[in-house]
């Protein structure tokens, strides 16, 4: 995982946004609960909405506290390992739930769902081995973001495949409109690892040998994925290995980029009037994720965000947490201001244009990001080694062999492989 500059900066210089919410007006919908609610989660507008709504359950008997920070993955596991746990709930996503499952720090929610959550739609319940472990409230994915005006100038439709994207990029460059028209979060580490996984899975590649923890990326699809990434980076700002999602968004807002595969949860920032000129934000459009080489699977992965309840807390706190978080993700939170913040997986959600990309991704047959105990280790190994390939330090075969070797050593240490 790469270190996002912003993340380190935030943790080093400013304390994370800690909002302690004292007893406010008791909400009738929370019912008869008493206990401590303490939430840890990532920091973006949709999650603020959830924790604010959860805080309406605070009263004389219930305290609600939220610690929202981009560093949440570093603190949620240690913060839930104590007994009693500091955090009674962690807001997590597809990949960040695995360390919590591996560490056995979140509790099955079946009894709480039976008691308090009968009205939660079944599709929101995330189950592992038949047990509910989390309640999802939003979906996220990377998909095409393009500049309508630039594509019109070169007379092309929005690309549906990466081949068309490369063709469009060449035309934009040849027409002298932009020097490096392709963008993307290609920062060494986590971001780069995810781009490889997206493309590799779209090419039909399997990350592990049939159901075992043995990695298998040294194959034709692996080479093809690396080669496509190298071609794409040929049209990117040469500093691409330092561009995380924030830097990529900044490049877009500066009007330097016309085509990219980017997070749905961040397109709102690109389309709002802040930090950019009308030429850029008025022409920023989203589309379905792209496929490769005539394949059917688009080069992206589906993600959900949801909440969990800690294991090492008294049952009363667990009940209070469940009810508060359920209130935080109830249909009542949806209004004009919050509707566009995310692709809410909540009854009553009406997609805004800004969220069209994620909706299209869900319809496109994209695969969910793998929820496997050892996925994080492989992701980290990919992120480090693909950077070596893209900066010309290793060839494709060496890179793929290095990914497998680095993963194997780490997985042996963690006890996943013998």
Partner 1 sequence: MKHKTFLWFFLPSGMAMFLFIAMPIVSVLTQSVYAPHEQVIREVENCTLFGCSKATQIDQEATRALRDAEPMGRFVGPSIYTDRNHLAFAEIAGIWRNASGLGDFFGQVTNLPFYDALSFTLTYTALVTPLSLAFGLIIALAVNALPQLFRGPVIFVSLLPMIVTPLVGALILFWMIDARGVLGAALQALAGDPGLSIKASTPLMWTMLIVYGVWSSAPFAFVIYYAGLQTVPGDTLESAMIDGASRWERIRYVILPHLLPLTTFMALIKIMDNFRVFEPIVSFSAGAHAKSLSYFIYSDLGGETRLLSSAAATSVLTIAGIIVLISPVLVRTWHAFGRVRA
Closer residue to partner 1 (CB): 96 or 261: 96
User: Smallest distance from the beta carbon of 51 to partner 1, in angstroms?
Assistant: 21
If one counts every other C-beta atom within 10 angstroms of the C-beta of residue 29, the result is 12
Closer residue to partner 1 (CB): 240 or 262: 240
Cα angle, residue 143 at apex, residues 90 and 346 outer, rounded to 5°: 45
User: Smallest distance from the beta carbon of 409 to partner 1, in angstroms?
Assistant: 4
- The runs of H, that is alpha helices, within 131-189 are 148-153, 162-174
Compute and round to an integer the Cα radius of gyration of the chain: 22
User: Smallest distance from the beta carbon of 242 to partner 1, in angstroms?
Assistant: 4
User: Smallest distance from the beta carbon of 255 to partner 1, in angstroms?
Assistant: 12
Q: Are 208 and 215 in contact (CB under 8 A)?
A: yes
Distance, CA of 210 to CA of 214 (rounded, Å)? 9
Closer residue to partner 1 (CB): 240 or 252: 240
User: Smallest distance from the beta carbon of 321 to partner 1, in angstroms?
Assistant: 21
User: Smallest distance from the beta carbon of 340 to partner 1, in angstroms?
Assistant: 19
Q: Cα dihedral sign for 315, 129, 203, 302?
A: negative
User: Smallest distance from the beta carbon of 4 to partner 1, in angstroms?
Assistant: 9
Closer residue to partner 1 (CB): 12 or 28: 12
Closer residue to partner 1 (CB): 52 or 414: 414
Closer residue to partner 1 (CB): 36 or 72: 72
Closer residue to partner 1 (CB): 152 or 179: 179
- The residue among 221, 232, 230, 238 whose CA lies nearest residue 144 is 232
Distance, CA of 83 to CA of 312 (rounded, Å)? 5
Distance, CA of 323 to CA of 113 (rounded, Å)? 10
- The residue among 179, 184, 180 whose CA lies nearest residue 198 is 184
Closer residue to partner 1 (CB): 56 or 237: 237
User: Smallest distance from the beta carbon of 74 to partner 1, in angstroms?
Assistant: 7
Q: Any idea how long the chain is? A: 418
Strands 259-263 and 182-183, by their bridges, are: parallel
Distance, CA of 372 to CA of 418 (rounded, Å)? 17
Terminal CA-CA length for the chain: 24
């Amino acid at each position: 995982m790469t270190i996002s500059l912003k993340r380190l900066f935030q943790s080093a210089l400013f304390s994370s946004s800690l909002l302690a919410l004292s007893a406010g007006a008791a909400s009738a919908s929370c019912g008869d609960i008493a206990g401590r609610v303490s939430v840890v989660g990532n920091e973006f507008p949709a999650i603020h909405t959830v924790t604010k709504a959860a805080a309406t359950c605070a009263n004389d008997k219930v305290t609600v506290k939220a610690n929202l920070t981009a560093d949440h993955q570093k603190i949620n596991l240690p913060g839930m390992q104590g007994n009693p746990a500091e955090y009674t709930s962690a807001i997590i996503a597809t990949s960040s739930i695995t360390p919590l499952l591996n560490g056995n720090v979140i509790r099955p929610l079946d009894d709480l769902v039976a008691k308090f959550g009968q009205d939660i739609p079944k599709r929101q319940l995330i189950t592992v081995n038949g047990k509910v472990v989390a309640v999802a409230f939003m979906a996220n994915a990377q998909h095409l973001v393009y500049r309508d005006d630039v594509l019109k100038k070169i007379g092309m439709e929005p690309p549906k495949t990466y081949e068309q994207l490369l063709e469009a990029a060449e035309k934009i460059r040849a027409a002298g409109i932009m020097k490096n028209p392709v963008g993307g979060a290609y920062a060494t580490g986590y971001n780069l690892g995810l781009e490889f996984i997206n493309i590799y899975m779209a090419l039909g590649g399997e990350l592990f040998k049939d159901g075992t923890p043995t990695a298998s990326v040294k194959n034709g699809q692996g080479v093809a994925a690396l080669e496509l990434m190298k071609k794409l980076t040929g049209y990117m700002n040469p500093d691409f290995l330092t561009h995380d999602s924030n830097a990529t968004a900044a490049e877009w807002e500066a009007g330097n980029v016309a085509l990219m595969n980017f997070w749905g949860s961040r397109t709102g920032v690109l389309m709002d009037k802040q930090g950019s000129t009308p030429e850029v934000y008025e022409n920023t459009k989203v589309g379905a994720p792209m496929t490769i080489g005539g394949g059917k699977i688009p080069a992206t992965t589906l993600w959900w965000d949801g909440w969990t309840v800690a294991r090492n807390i008294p049952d009363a706190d667990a009940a209070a947490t469940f009810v508060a978080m359920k209130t935080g993700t109830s249909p009542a939170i949806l209004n004009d201001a919050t509707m566009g913040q995310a692709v809410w997986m909540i009854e009553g959600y009406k997609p805004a244009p800004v969220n069209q990309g994620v909706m299209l991704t869900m319809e496109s047959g994209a695969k969910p990001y793998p929820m496997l105990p050892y996925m994080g280790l492989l992701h980290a190994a990919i992120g480090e080694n693909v950077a070596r390939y893209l900066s010309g330090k290793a060839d494709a075969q060496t890179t793929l062999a290095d990914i497998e070797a680095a993963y194997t050593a780490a997985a042996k240490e963690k006890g996943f492989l013998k």
